[in-house]
Amino acid sequence: MWLLVRDNALMPAVDGSVTLAACPDTADRGEDWRWRVWRGPPTASDRLGEVFVDTDTDYVVASTTVVGASPITLTRQAGEEVVVVPLAGHHLIADSIGPWQRWLHPGDAFVLEGEESETVNLSSAPGPARVAVVRLSTTNDAPLRWVP
């Protein structure tokens, strides 16, 4: 399952922070909390705010890399969840085996998850470009599935 949430659909909290993606996506149904990728409130130097990752460290291992303008092939391992967060510039994310592709912009969030591995291609428009790629997996090798 892939999930693309545009900036205009993300609601800031009272303190100005914004949850970009989370598992579960809501606390309303009482699911076990696993992780959250979020932005801090906007600052004078960063209109969108800094990006943070919170996890249940007993269950989830997270790693974050920031990539630049070069085209990259992004492979998600089976059972892993990946959150792509544009930080600067505009980025084209494309299915490596199908026609689907979308432009991602700062403020958007893109989640990939599933029990089979898959590959997408990520390339950037000319100009400054930075993308955070957050990888999340379980500590026990069980598939980490996204919960709405």
Partner 1 sequence: MPYVLNAWYVAAWSHEVTREPVARQICTQPVVLYRTKDGAAVALADRCAHRGYPLSAGRLVDDSIECGYHGFAFGCDGVCTRVPAQSTIPSRSKVRAYPVHEKDGWIWIWTGDVERADVSAIPDTHWMNDPAWAAVTHSYRFECRADLVHDNLLDLTHESFIHRTTVGDDYIYEHGITVEVDGTTVTVDRLMPGVEAPPLYAATMGIEGLYDRFHATEFAVPSHHTLHSGITGRGRPREEGYLIKVLNGITPIDERTCWYYYAFCRNFGVENTAATEDLRIGLATVLDEDAEALRLQEIALSSRPSTEHDVLIAQDAGVAKARRVMAQLLAAEAAATPTTAPGAGETRYAASAASSSPATASVG
- The residues that touch partner 1, with contacts defined as CB under 8 A, are 1-6, 8-9, 11, 25-26, 28-30, 98-100, 102, 113-114, 145-148
CB nearer partner 1, residue 116 or residue 141: 116
* Gap between the Cα atoms of 1 and 94, Å rounded: 14
* Gap between the Cα atoms of 49 and 29, Å rounded: 29
Report in angstroms how near the CB of residue 4 gets to partner 1 at its nearest: 5
CB nearer partner 1, residue 10 or residue 69: 10
Beta strands in the chain (DSSP E): 2-5, 18-23, 35-39, 51-55, 60-67, 72-76, 81-88, 91-95, 101-104, 109-112, 118-124, 130-138
Report in angstroms how near the CB of residue 101 gets to partner 1 at its nearest: 11
36 C-beta neighbours (distance < 10 Å), count: 18
Report in angstroms how near the CB of residue 124 gets to partner 1 at its nearest: 20
Report in angstroms how near the CB of residue 49 gets to partner 1 at its nearest: 20
Report in angstroms how near the CB of residue 88 gets to partner 1 at its nearest: 21
Give the bridge partners for 135, in sequence order. Answer: 63, 82
* Gap between the Cα atoms of 49 and 80, Å rounded: 26
CB nearer partner 1, residue 8 or residue 140: 8
CB nearer partner 1, residue 3 or residue 69: 3
CB nearer partner 1, residue 65 or residue 75: 75
